[in-house]
Structure 1
Amino acid sequence: MVGREVAAADHPSKEVREVLKRLVADGWKLRSEGHWGTLYCPCEEHCTSIRVGGTPKNPGQEARRVQRRAKLCPLPPDDPRAALRGGNVK
């Protein structure tokens, strides 16, 4: 992780912003890297990182992509954050 930490509320797209807010509340780290930012999973070894574009052509599709990728983080089943990761993005 190299960039400065950014707030999920700073994302210009409403749909992506809502997904980012949920993930950051669940322990994900959002850093200013790339075209807008990168999400890092809450695991100690940061097994999953997700690039987040600042101006997606289709914000709803971008929000769903971020949510799908977030579900790939293999948190242990007994970790309370594992139950919070899911959720539907409309």
Structure 2
Amino acid sequence: MPGQKEKQSIVERIGESELVVANPDKKGKEAIKTFKFNKIFGPASSQAEVYDDIQAFIRSVLDGYNSGPNNATNESHGVNYRALNDLFNISASRQSSIIL
């Protein structure tokens, strides 16, 4: 970036589940950092590829896991009810800006 004097970190390698970042300003162990992930999507990955990979997680919201106790109140709702309520509230608040 213009005005920045320091060298910037660079992505040295992207693997299936590992990302290696090099920092030219550092020495020894600090010069290279390795980050491990479940999966890494590169810049050429499509939105469809990303969604295909996380679709099961998204759908698990409806599966009833962590749903909370019977006759739950807003305070005792589980993860799936909280997630759905949040998404529906966001959708309702953005309805005027959504173009179909």
Q: What is the TM-score when the length of structure 1 is the normalising length?
A: 0.26
Q: What is the TM-score when the length of structure 2 is the normalising length?
A: 0.25
Tell which structure's C-alpha radius of gyration is larger.
2
**Which has the higher relative contact order, 1 or 2, with Cα contacts under 8 A spaced 6 or more apart?**
1
**Structure with greater helix share of residues:** 2
